[in-house]
Amino acid sequence: MSRPELEEALLLLRKAQEDADAVKKLVPDTDIADSVVGFHAQQAAEKALKAVLAASGDDFPWTHDLRHLMDRPSSTHASTGHRAISTRRPPHVSVSYVLTHLSPMC
C-alpha cells in the first residue's frame, strides 16, 4: 500500500468513526428522526467500505450505493500483510453490531 493510499484510508476511517459516534449519541434521543440516525449509520458504513477500497488501491466510484461498493473485487478480500480480511458480513450480523465494533478500528 502506498503512502497516499494509506493516508486516504486512514482519513476515511476517521470520518467513518465520526459518523458512528454521531449514531451512538443520537440513537437514545427520541426527538431525533430515525432518518437522521440512519443517514449517519449509512455514512459510517460507506466511509468504512471506501477506506478498505482506498487501502487496496481501488479508485472507487463516487457512489453512496453500499452494495455496489461491497461488490467491487478489491472489497471482497482486501489484503493486509499476510492475512485477508473479508468485508462481506454474514446476513445475521446487524448494522448495530457493525457500528458497535467500528470504534476499535480508529
Percent of the chain with pLDDT over 90: 33
- Residue whose entry in the numeric block shows the C-alpha cell 492475512: 83
11: pLDDT strictly greater than 90: yes
CA 52 centroid distance within chain: 8
- Residue whose entry in the numeric block shows the C-alpha cell 467500505: 49
pTM for the structure as a whole: 0.66
DSSP structural state of residue 28: T
The pLDDT tens digits of the residues spanning 45-58 come to 889 888 888 888 87
